[in-house]
Amino acid sequence: MRVGRRWTAAGTIAGGFSLVLFASPAAVRAEPTVHQPLPLERLFDNRAVSDDARPGDADFDGAGSSLSAQDLSAAGWTPGRVIALDAARLTWPRTTADAERGAPDNVIADGQSVRLRGRGDGLTFLVASSSPDGPGAGVSGTGTVRYRDGSSSTYTLSAPDWRAGPAASRAVTLPHRNTPDGPRQEPARLYAVTVPVERGREIASVALPKDPGPAADLHVFAASVKRSTPGWTGSWSASTAGYTKAGPWTDQTLRLVVHTSTGGPRARIRLENTFAAAPVEIGRATVALQADGAAAHGAPVPLTFGGRSGTSIPAGTQAFSDPVALDHGRSAVPADANLLVSIHLPGTVSAVPVHSQATQRSYLSAPGSGDRSGDSGGESYTGALTTWPFLTGVDVQGGPGSVVTLGDSITDGTKSTDDANRRWPDVLARRLRAQSEVPAYGVLNQGISANRVVTDVYPGEGVNTNTSGVSALSRLERDVLAQTGTRTVVVFQGINDLRWGTPAEDVIEGLRTIAARAHARGLRVLGATIAPCEGESRCTADADARRGAVNAFVRDSGGVFDAVLDFDAVVRDPDHPSRILPAYDSGDHLHPGDAGLEALARSIDLRQLTG
């Protein structure tokens, strides 16, 4: 029977769901279970997806509008598909337009008790909010996590509007929505958001937030425990900075050069189709040690994805390879080494998610050359790349976990020597490997050139020449909290906000939010002061005054950070504190050169990384 926009069926509880932007566990307390928990799909009471030919089959927002099944399929979000987002695995509902007509595919949150089991550091929900009155500001509500030991914690679930929510944090954008009057060419968005839970406690069930009232609804399509990855350490990473035109590349192979920070017996890679509107097909992929240029040391080792040689990565999602050892199972993956990760693209690719400032030469085979991923020699790789498309991570088995460095171009290594791995995170990794006082963490570089703390320079969707990334706030889940084995995050960012006129108070609030979200997930957070840049065109006296205000906050933040790295004091000219010491200046007065980057890394008391 249909009641308004909700559906009821034997064995289900009427209600629905919402999207999570940020949550923090409340004090753990004993609390009795109120409802018998059921699997999420048995709680579905709303139909959000319709076939373009039958738009009346669904009513997502109370006004007869719905998501297009054809658009979802074109994005690779097909019924029953496992969608990997920010290291969480979610299953897109099976009950969409090609299934039984009238079957619900989401739940409107109203306190329902969902059966979710397992241990992890968060819960990930696939959600959006809707309103019968048109685009709104989104909806928030408070839910409860219940643990097997009888305790519980609360979380805040905030769902952006499916039509007016931000592009920068969406999981997928669809080009149109279905309405009773026909298709409407305006974007519809779904969101994946993770909320923290009590680490180490086994989850038994989750109560969704109560219905906030008639003005808007919180819809939940999928939910899962975000399990931690014990036994794995992040060794190399790069942040997706934008979605840009490429080639087009047709039946070609990328051979990407990356540098490990730590080693282990086996490795896996992470590929991401971030910001994309369509799936990408990966024909084959391999990994090898670099010998020279595009040539491998020995035969490249084939990678598999769930046991298959290739994979299709839906729009906005990621894929991890199965673990492998080098030299066909006989050799460990070394630390401080260059790897060649080769990716065959069998189709035509005209736009790619990319990290634009690699400071590293990689390689591309000739058009139509086919699968060259297994080549030991480099003769087929006639083209050069200075970016990292698709590849965002290399993890190694074992190790103590990772330090993530969140920053802008100074962290990214702009103006450091090409192909030399002289970024300050590289130097930090070498220091960690050379000592035994603290764990020899992997170091993950999540710097993006021209990135900002609070402003999405790249809007978050669409092909664009801008590769400055979405803001640190918008990318925090993907680039820090979801990284493999993260233990500590170093936040060194803010100069680009200040150079472009952002008030110091906004930057400070952004840094507070980053630290709070990381702390809620159990991470240690180090804040770094912002380096000077007098002499660069946008580093005005006003910008420097605001920089001083932000640095004063970082140095005396009252517990916002677990420790402070005074990078400003390290590289400034003591006789002229608003500029970089000439010996450390790359020449543009904004970026330290190799010597300055080394000084930053050498200034860190390694004990601060562990507390």
Q: Measured between alpha carbons, how far apart are the two ends of the chain, in Å? A: 58
Which residue, among 362, 344, 356, has the nearest Cα to 259 in the 3D structure?
362
Pairwise CA distance, residues 422 & 495, whole Å:
21
Dihedral of alpha carbons 477, 481, 484, 489, sign: positive
Beta strands in 369-424 (DSSP E): 383-385, 388-389, 391-397, 402-407
Q: Please indicate, yes or no, whether residues 417 and 391 belong to a single structural domain of this protein.
A: no
Name the domain count of the chain: 3
Dihedral of alpha carbons 82, 83, 88, 91, sign: negative
Q: Please indicate, yes or no, whether residues 219 and 340 belong to a single structural domain of this protein.
A: no
Report pLDDT digits (tens) over 319-376: 999 999 998 888 899 999 999 999 999 999 999 999 999 999 999 999 999 999 999 9
Q: Please indicate, yes or no, whether residues 388 and 408 belong to a single structural domain of this protein.
A: no
Pairwise CA distance, residues 394 & 259, whole Å:
9
The predicted structure's pLDDT at residue 611: 76
The predicted structure's pLDDT at residue 98: 46
The predicted structure's pLDDT at residue 100: 55
Pairwise CA distance, residues 405 & 413, whole Å:
12
Do the domain assignments include residue 602?
yes
Do the domain assignments include residue 232?
no
348: tokens are 């035509």
Q: Please indicate, yes or no, whether residues 188 and 271 belong to a single structural domain of this protein.
A: no
Which residue, among 404, 409, 357, 358, has the nearest Cα to 530 in the 3D structure?
409
Domain final position from 396, 415, 435: 396
Domain final position from 366, 396, 426: 396
Q: Please indicate, yes or no, whether residues 254 and 371 belong to a single structural domain of this protein.
A: yes
Evaluate whether 532 touches 551 at the Cβ level (below 8 Å): no
Q: What is the CA radius of gyration of the chain?
A: 24
Q: Please indicate, yes or no, whether residues 53 and 94 belong to a single structural domain of this protein.
A: yes
C-alpha dist (Å) from residue 398 to 118, 194, 215: 22, 26, 50
Which residue, among 432, 522, 438, has the nearest Cα to 486 in the 3D structure?
522
Looking at the DSSP assignment, which residues form a beta bridge with residue 524?
488
Pairwise CA distance, residues 533 & 544, whole Å:
8
What's the one-letter identity of residue 453? V
Q: Please indicate, yes or no, whether residues 435 and 388 belong to a single structural domain of this protein.
A: no
Q: Please indicate, yes or no, whether residues 513 and 430 belong to a single structural domain of this protein.
A: yes
Evaluate whether 95 touches 167 at the Cβ level (below 8 Å): no
**Residue 105 CB contacts under 8 Å (≥ 6 apart), including other chains:** 44, 46, 47, 48, 49, 93, 95, 96, 221
Q: Which domain holds residue 115?
A: 2-226
Do the domain assignments include residue 487?
yes
What CATH number is attached to the domain comprising 462?
A: 3.40.50.1110
The predicted structure's pLDDT at residue 174: 98
Pairwise CA distance, residues 151 & 144, whole Å:
10
Instruction: Return the DSSP state at 512.
Output: H
Instruction: Return the DSSP state at 43.
Output: G
Do the domain assignments include residue 308?
yes
Q: Please indicate, yes or no, whether residues 132 and 20 belong to a single structural domain of this protein.
A: yes
The predicted structure's pLDDT at residue 215: 82
Q: Please indicate, yes or no, whether residues 212 and 282 belong to a single structural domain of this protein.
A: no
Q: Please indicate, yes or no, whether residues 125 and 195 belong to a single structural domain of this protein.
A: yes
Which residue, among 184, 159, 220, 223, has the nearest Cα to 68 in the 3D structure?
184
Q: Please indicate, yes or no, whether residues 212 and 325 belong to a single structural domain of this protein.
A: no
Q: What angle do CA 163, 169, 175 make, to 5 degrees?
A: 40
Q: Can you say whether residue 307 is alpha, beta or left, with left for phi > 0 and alpha for psi between -120 and 50 degrees?
A: left
Domain final position from 337, 372, 396: 396
Task: Find the helix or strand (DSSP H, E) in which 497 lies.
Answer: helix 495-499
- Spans of the chain below 50 pLDDT: 1-4, 7-33, 96-98
What single string gives the DSSP state of each residue in 269-313?
EEEE-TT-SS-EEE--EEEEEEEETTEEEEEEEEE-BTTBS-EEE
Do the domain assignments include residue 414?
yes
Report pLDDT digits (tens) over 259-281: 999 999 999 999 999 999 999 99
Which residue, among 503, 321, 331, has the nearest Cα to 394 in the 3D structure?
321
Do the domain assignments include residue 231?
no
**Residue 430 CB contacts under 8 Å (≥ 6 apart), including other chains:** 336
Q: To which residue do tokens 């001083």 refer? A: 548
